[in-house]
Structure 1
Amino acid sequence: MLPDQAQTRQALERLLAQGLLATPVAQSGVRDVIERSWRRCVGAEVPIGRHDIPYVADVHDMAPRLHAAAAPVLDRLGDDLGDARVAMFLSDDQGRIIMRRAGEPQQLRILDNSCAAEGFDFSETSIGTNGLGTVARERRPLLVHGSEHYSELLGPLTCAGTPIFEPFTGQLLGTFALACRSDHASALMPAMATDVGRQIEGNLTAMLGAHERTLIQAFLLATRTDRQPVIVVTENTAFANTAGLVHVTPETHALLWCDLAESGLRAGRHRRVIRLAGGRADALVERVDGVGPTGPAFCVRLLQSPRSPEPDRPSDHRRRHRRAAPQAPLHPVPDISDQLRSAVGFREVLAVDGPAGSGKLTAAMAALAGATGATGAPPVVVDLARTDCPESLAETGAPAVVLHHVHDAPAEHLRRIRTAIEDSSVPVALTVDLDTAHHDVAAVVAALCTTVRLPSLPEMSAEVPRIVLQIVAGLPPGQRETRFTSDALQVLMRWPWPGNLAELRRTVEQLARRRAGRSISSADLPPRMQQAPLRGFGMIETAERDAIVSALHRFGGNRTQAAAALGIGRTTLYRKLQTYRIPTGD
């Protein structure tokens, strides 16, 4: 039964007038799936009337595999439909129309007037509820009839759409829809659209090459004999059995591929600790060769659920007992986060050391905020590169003070800085770059402070996916729905980041502004990142990595003993473990 057009439109107008807090409009005969979409559109402030719809001039290079698989299906259907006044549409996974088939002149005028043409963005956030963008959002077949469309542009049309998924991986590739004037709509349209979608997916399966079939065969063999979560990864693909689907995310794929591709694993099964977005886990990893020119594949069988890493030092049962609830990390690397929290917890003067852009001020502020408790007032920052240090830090009236850029303070002010720190009655933290600081500054820091060094971003490249997620989560509404694909994250993990965390934050924020709410692939990254060679290991770095692996093996994974044998500190060893992506057992 078709919905009452006038009643449906009145329900939408009532929702627009009353806002998202309006009572459900389902009693007006509006389907739940349509109302859910309307509310998303209202929340995204999508215009209901005519407005400029985003347009891409050249759509022929978008989703080439989907285009190739769909073209013969739409050609056959076009021949079968003959002069029927039904148009066919194919969109990519973002809802952008990449193919339109329509021939009847009057229908073409209606479609063009509705911007229903190749190149136009029919995502929900662009044009509202429709048979392409809403199908992509809901990931299910859907009929949108006349006034159920959010935009007035689409009011004359009825659309039946269906999602199109990548065979075996389940990744959404795009959507297909049939559209016509509402007075010409047929009850057969949803079934026809769904059948066309399955034919396109069948063509995608037939297009798989021999190397992809080899990969699928290895996956099916693993899932036939194992009930544990199984994940298969190549440079461009990840898929899993039902138990492993929860781990198949862009972040996990980027972490797994970058780790395993550089691991040097040979044929056969190897037990090792792997990185997932949710933490580390023990796994059996099998290398699968013969899957194409991009390199091997890896079949990963998880032996346990992911666990968060713990620092490998003597436990403090009293401190752990007092921890009633998990505390927010002060730094992406858990060991460094714990060092920061320990220093301020014992009311020591904290010096946060690290190169420019490594997040020293953020870490110092977070550490002191935890030390001052629920006072409400944030620590005061005194930038010694711009102002003199006050003679008494108590004059600031703050619960804690951060002395920022201590390495940039004039040498003649060091005595005052030292006196202010020694006489302070409130918690104090310093930020300093000891690699560039004068030896007198280093002497003051060594005499008064507990120093925690923050690594540069390349030294903790495995944390890049998690940091990207944290940055995106803190962005304004609309931008925080932005997602990074695995290939983009792989480039970000391997980029040398001369500007450290500050450069990463600026890059992520810029991309999220330009492509708010969309998926960002490697093609969307700045040209310098796309064109530059990826960072690799030279002969000296390779030799150092081998020495660290040998020392860890000799001492059964004990990093303290391994660091002593190598003649370096534990913190330095930890940084190198991150830099060389050496797996450990914690």
Structure 2
Amino acid sequence: MPDKQGGTGPVEARDASAPRLRASWQRSARYGVPDDEVNPVFTGSVDTSSLLYECGHEVLQGLHQTLANEPISLMLTDSDGLVLSRICGDSTITRSLDRVHLAPGFFFAESNAGTNGLGLALADRAPSLVRAAEHYCTSLRGYTCAAVPVLDPLSGELAGSVNLTTWSEQSSELLLALAQTAAGHTSALMLARASGRRPRRAPRGEVFRMYAEQVEPPPLSAGWEHPLMEAIDAMRRGQTVLVTGEPGAGKTALAAMARRELRPRERLLNARPPAPDDVRAWLTVWAPELGKESTCVVVSGVDTLPAWAASELGQRFSAAHVESGASPFVLTAVDPATLPESLVPHVDTVVEVPALRFRPDDVLPLAHHFARRVRGREVTFTPAAARALTAYDWPENVKQLRRVVREAASRSEVVDAPQLSAEIFTTAGHRLSRLQAMERDEIVRCLAQPGATVVGAATELGMGRATIYRKMAQYGIKARQLRS
């Protein structure tokens, strides 16, 4: 790729990074980023109250103590590339970075500053090292930047990045390793200070075939049927559908049901998003299936893909076509606004799946369906259990309902309130520590026993009556739902 100076571009130095750098340069050109100087957007305020800032700044301060005599600037950014903090003991490099606006309060994403370390790390959600001439903007070519994304340990969403910048002539062999260590420590500290909640399981990029019996739910309400029919109608017209909705709402299930309704004998694959480092292998596994006769791929979570992977996927979509005219793929994402730019032209229709809390009439039919799949026969839910299930808000949607019902049905063919997870009897609006969760579960267990009273539960737990009432209010425990 020719550069602005008539040379060979940024990709000769490191062949392994060439595809990502090339894609980043192309995006920078599309954004209209100047090639001679950085003109990033400035904001007058920086959020220093977030958990990311609290933990990241503390980690970088500790790292700075070991690098106090080195010309290295340590920076923390949010997910949009806004520089939140900068720590550096070298006044020369600090003044130099000020001149190119790599400072707190400035946005340094690719769309603002072209190809650079932190911008590439955020775009691809992967550790990135950008040296000297690999920068898109000539005014940044005096630096080497190593950046690593920081993921929220609970949601798995992109929280920001850690960026280490030094002079381009300095050795950069350890720079990326230091950035990776700092990002890892930041994420671990965020988890520790998020009241001990379990981290979200890392994406594994599964690719598997979906069979009809796996996606056949019971008859559901209009809240589900309307988007289903909308998707079927769009697919019948040969349009490519993007299914959106909250995590766990059933986006992939709806996409699969729509295809099954339209083409019952079709070979249906589901490709779930992988970890950033596994994208290349993930694409190799399933992308050749695109365009094969009577084959459709549901590509889930495309809004979580690195920018370079989304760009390559867009190219594969352009090349994939079948004689029947039906689109050989369906996409899912949480929000259409988060769809990667390179995939936008491939979407004809957006269908939204409502969250389960907006479809309360679907809770019990789905609960019976999931329970029947666990035991192989019908399972009974008592009135108390049914009330608890339908009254809960299900913040994790159908995925959470399936987990709760499977756990309960695995223990009994008659599911009563005591068999249900304690979490659905509470409305605590804050995160609980492990000890708090154990305390909540014990209170629920005592109150769910036949003939239980608050006074009796207080006695069994060794608490005063006022204390247990206070704990019930603290955890949002609804005693009435626990009684048959």
TM-score norm. by structure 2 comes to 0.45
Larger Rg: 1
TM-score w.r.t. structure 1 length? 0.38
Q: Which has the higher contact order (CA 8 A, sep 6+)?
A: 2
